[in-house]
Amino acid sequence: MTYSHPDSLRGHVAIVTGAAQGVGKGVAAALLERGASVLLVDIQDELLATTAAELTAIGPVERLVADLRDPDSAGRIVAAAVGAFGAVNGLVNNAIATNEPKEFVDITAEDLALGYEVGPRATFLLMQAVHPVMVEAGGGSIVNLGSGTGTGGEPRWGGYAAAKEGIRGLSKVAALEWGRDNIRVNVICPFAESDGVKLWKQFAPDDYAKAVRRVPMKRIGDVRTDVGALVAFLLGADATFITGQTIHVDGGIGCFR
What single DSSP character describes residue 181?
Answer: G
Question: For residue 62, what is the enclosing H or E element?
Answer: strand 61-65
* Pick from 18, 141, 145, 121: nearest CA to 72: 121
Residues whose CB falls within 8 Å of the CB of residue 161, separated by 6 or more in sequence, listed in order:
147, 149, 150, 153, 154
- State the Cα–Cα distance between residues 168 and 156, nearest whole angstrom: 20
- State the Cα–Cα distance between residues 36 and 10, nearest whole angstrom: 5
- State the Cα–Cα distance between residues 248 and 244, nearest whole angstrom: 13
Largest pairwise CA distance in the chain: 51
Question: For residue 48, what is the enclosing H or E element?
Answer: helix 45-55
Q: Which entry of 3, 116, 160, 208 is annotated as an active-site residue?
A: 160
b/e for 65-90, b at 16 or more Cβ within 10 A?
A: ebebeeeebbeebbebbbebbebbbb
Active site residue 116: no
- Tell me which residues are annotated as active site: 160
